[in-house]
């Protein structure tokens, strides 16, 4: 299932396959550049599976809930990470109230809970609020696995 991205130049909605979220592309209408995804992506179980299996880059997943104050504290750091790692990693957000099956699947007992995936495999998981630098280090430490 592709993601829909609006072109910043003409507003046209473009489909982007999960395997190309870290790539730049061109708008189908005006042919202006579509940059790599630079914001956290809210996903359901189907999109979650598709994204963590597709990219050759690390995927950071933020398991969160609307009522969770620490999750709200972590949200700006997660958004900043998506911006600074655009083209090098993908950042997903999973609402544990809306998708409890995903939380159960990865034994999420406390939120916020962060997990890093590479090639469909979880390489690390940690609960609790952390800063941008820590999350960035998790992604950097996962990258060498992509070339192995």
Rounded Cα distance between 47 and 44, Å, is 5
Of 7, 27, 30, 68, which residue is the catalytic one?
68
Q: Single out the residue of 25, 60, 57 nearest to residue 43, CA to CA.
A: 60
Residue 103 in contact with residue 63, Cβ under 8 Å? yes
Rounded Cα distance between 23 and 139, Å, is 17
Of 7, 10, 30, 71, which residue is the catalytic one?
71
Rounded Cα distance between 114 and 89, Å, is 14
Give one DSSP letter per residue of 71-111, joined into a string.
Answer: HHHHHHHHHHHHHHTTTT-EEEEEETTT-HHHHHHTT--SS
68 is catalytic: yes
**Length of the chain in terms of residues written:** 148
Give the residue numbers marked as catalytic: 68, 71
């Amino acid at each position: 299932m592709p993601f829909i991205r609006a072109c910043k130049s003409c507003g046209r909605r473009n489909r982007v396959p999960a395997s190309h979220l870290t790539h730049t592309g061109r708008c189908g209408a005006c042919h202006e550049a579509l940059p790599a995804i630079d914001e956290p992506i809210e996903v359901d179980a189907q999109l979650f599976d598709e994204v963590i299996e597709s990219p050759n880059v690390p995927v950071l997943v933020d398991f969160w809930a609307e009522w969770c104050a620490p999750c709200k504290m972590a949200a700006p750091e997660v958004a900043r990470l998506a911006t600074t790692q655009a083209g090098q990693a993908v950042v997903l957000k999973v609402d544990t109230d809306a998708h409890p099956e995903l939380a159960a699947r990865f034994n999420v007992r406390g939120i916020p809970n962060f997990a890093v995936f590479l090639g469909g495999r979880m390489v690390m998981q940690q609960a609790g609020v952390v800063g941008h630098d820590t999350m960035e280090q998790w992604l950097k430490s996962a990258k060498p696995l992509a070339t192995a």
